[in-house]
């Protein structure tokens, strides 16, 4: 790989200047500079055969910052650079002003635009870069400061917008729309779109629009600035191909996990020999047997007229609200750790599924990566990231005969801990309802066999 080290050092110094002068602005716009080794790796992913016959190649870097990727094309693929027309879009005026002081800025057309609202008649052969990450909102809880009016525009424009959507998902959709047929999109993005329900529409959009290849790069690429597991998305636009390839970068090499020639936007999970064995030894999925519901979320609690903040005078008339801190493996601490209370007579006004004894599952992983499940006999109300299981009345699964005591032992076991770790890596600290629904669970006989065999 060709790399001019002096220019790399120079660009790194410019990044340091920008980092030191607009630290707060970077947070507001979800900006993270990409390590040079990742820039080089992504540029090497460009399939030159797909553009070999073109005299003019149009290359775009959205949210381009200092144009790391456009400059990388010049460094690494000079033959491509020599026949390319380069374009960058950057919304942040401070970064744009600084980038214009660099000599390379004269070699590409730079637009000061919000990329998600950017309009152009040009279609591109290559779109490459590192889009911003974050949920757009003016709330202090979210990184990317966006007015409600602008956010509504995004929702109106983007078909894949769903739930607590992250702007990088909209960047992907926008870029697909701007590609020529057989055009290539290469982004480094959080791996969360592989598994979370909010990105179901995006996965469908990818599968219906062409060929998708993902290279999982793990949680360390952007540390210490950001603690996020990332994946490099290589996408080629085509009306004929909807296949998927999943690979993993590990021990300085790339390993193909699997390929799917008929991907229809399903959740993208890792598959190992261990996960295949546990899947094969369990006849059921958790979602087959149980309805899975989530607790009242914190904003709902704070705005609820029945909720009291602070210890009431007559404590015997109230239930404490519990959350994840109250839940351990096979144990519930019923003390009030949240500071929120509700009158016993009003507790049924929160959620109907609190009223009967049932299994609760901690949405987040414990410190050692283990799921936390316990049986709530007191039926206290909960808030936050806790799931509640209620048995389905389904004759088809009437033979599911494992006791709830043994099911708890299984859910809290090393078997499940390892399964979750190998299936979802470090993609998210929390499990979604979809992930829980797909968790394999054994019958009584299967659980006895699993325990008897020990390690799989």
Of the candidates 133, 171, 354, 365, the residue annotated as catalytic is 133
Is the entire prediction scored with pTM above 0.95? Answer: no
Q: What is the pLDDT of residue 25?
A: 47
Per the annotation, the verdict on 133 as an active-site residue is yes
Q: What is the pLDDT of residue 4?
A: 31
Of the candidates 92, 124, 130, 415, the residue annotated as catalytic is 130
pLDDT cut 70: percent of the chain above it: 89
Q: Report whether pLDDT(43) > 60.
A: yes
Q: What is the DSSP letter of 131?
A: -
246 and 383 share one domain: no
Per the annotation, the verdict on 222 as an active-site residue is yes
264 and 289 share one domain: no
CA-nearest of 361, 370, 342 to 294 is 361
CATH for 54 = 3.40.50.150
Spatial distance between the Cα atoms of 315 and 319, rounded to a whole number of angstroms: 8
149 and 221 share one domain: yes
- What tokens appear for 378 in the block? 């007191």
Q: What is the domain count for the chain?
A: 2
324 and 435 share one domain: yes
Of the candidates 62, 131, 136, 440, the residue annotated as catalytic is 131
140: domain range?
A: 5-268
Q: What is the mean pLDDT of residues 425-431?
A: 85
Terminus-to-terminus CA distance in the chain, angstroms? 42
160 and 233 share one domain: yes
312 and 255 share one domain: no
Spatial distance between the Cα atoms of 382 and 375, rounded to a whole number of angstroms: 13
Q: Of the residues 268, 288, 314, which one is the last residue of a structural domain?
A: 268
Per the annotation, the verdict on 216 as an active-site residue is no
Q: What is the pLDDT of residue 358?
A: 95
Q: Of the residues 225, 242, 268, which one is the last residue of a structural domain?
A: 268
Spatial distance between the Cα atoms of 168 and 165, rounded to a whole number of angstroms: 9
Per the annotation, the verdict on 130 as an active-site residue is yes
Of the candidates 222, 234, 270, 387, the residue annotated as catalytic is 222
233 and 370 share one domain: no
Q: What is the pLDDT of residue 141?
A: 61
Q: What is the pLDDT of residue 250?
A: 82
Instruction: Encode pLDDT of 364-408 as tens digits.
Output: 554 566 789 999 999 999 998 899 999 998 777 778 899 999 999
CA angle 138, 139, 140 (to 5 degrees): 115
Q: What is the mean pLDDT of residues 45-64?
A: 94
């Amino acid at each position: 790989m060709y790399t001019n080290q002096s220019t790399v050092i120079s660009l790194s110094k410019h990044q340091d200047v920008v980092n030191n002068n607009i630290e707060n602005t970077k947070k507001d716009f979800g900006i993270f500079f990409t390590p040079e080794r990742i820039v080089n790796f992504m540029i090497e992913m460009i399939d030159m055969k797909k553009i070999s016959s073109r005299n003019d190649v149009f290359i775009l870097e959205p949210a381009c910052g200092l144009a790391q990727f456009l400059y990388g094309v010049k460094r690494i693929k000079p033959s491509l650079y020599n026949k390319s027309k380069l374009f960058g879009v950057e919304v942040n005026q401070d970064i744009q002003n600084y980038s214009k002081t660099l000599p390379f800025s004269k070699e590409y057309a730079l637009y000061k635009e919000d990329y998600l609202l950017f309009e152009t008649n040009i279609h591109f052969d290559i779109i490459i870069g590192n889009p911003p990450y974050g949920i757009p909102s003016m709330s202090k809880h979210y990184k990317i400061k966006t007015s409600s009016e602008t956010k509504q525009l995004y929702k109106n424009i983007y078909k894949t917008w769903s739930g607590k959507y992250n702007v990088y998902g909209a960047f992907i959709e926008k870029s697909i729309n701007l590609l020529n047929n057989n055009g290539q999109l290469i982004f480094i993005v959080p791996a969360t779109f592989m598994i979370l329900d909010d990105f179901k529409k995006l996965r469908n959009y990818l599968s219906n629009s062409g060929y998708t290849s993902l290279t999982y790069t793990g949680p360390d690429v952007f540390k210490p600035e950001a603690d996020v597991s990332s994946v490099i998305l290589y996408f080629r636009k085509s009306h004929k191909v909807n296949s998927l390839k999943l690979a993993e970068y590990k021990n300085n090499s790339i390993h193909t996990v699997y390929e799917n020639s008929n991907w229809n936007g399903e959740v993208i999970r890792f598959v190992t020999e261990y996960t295949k064995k546990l899947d094969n030894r369990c006849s059921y999925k958790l979602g087959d047997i149980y309805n899975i519901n989530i607790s009242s979320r914190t904003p709902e609690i704070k705005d609820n007229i029945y909720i009291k903040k602070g210890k009431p005078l007559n404590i015997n008339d109230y239930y404490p609200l519990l959350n994840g801190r109250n839940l351990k493996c096979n144990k519930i601490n019923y003390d009030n750790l949240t500071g929120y209370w509700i009158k016993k007579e009003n507790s049924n006004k929160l959620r109907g599924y609190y009223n009967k004894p049932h299994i609760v599952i901690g949405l987040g992983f414990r410190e050692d990566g283990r799921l936390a499940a316990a049986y709530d006999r007191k039926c206290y109300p909960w808030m936050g990231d806790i799931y509640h299981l209620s048995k389905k009345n389904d004759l088809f699964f009437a033979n599911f005969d494992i006791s709830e005591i043994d099911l708890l032992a299984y859910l809290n076991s090393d078997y499940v801990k390892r399964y979750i770790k190998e299936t979802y890596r470090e993609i998210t600290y929390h499990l979604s309802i979809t992930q829980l629904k797909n968790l394999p669970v054994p019958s009584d006989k299967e659980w006895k066999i699993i325990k008897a065999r020990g390690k799989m």
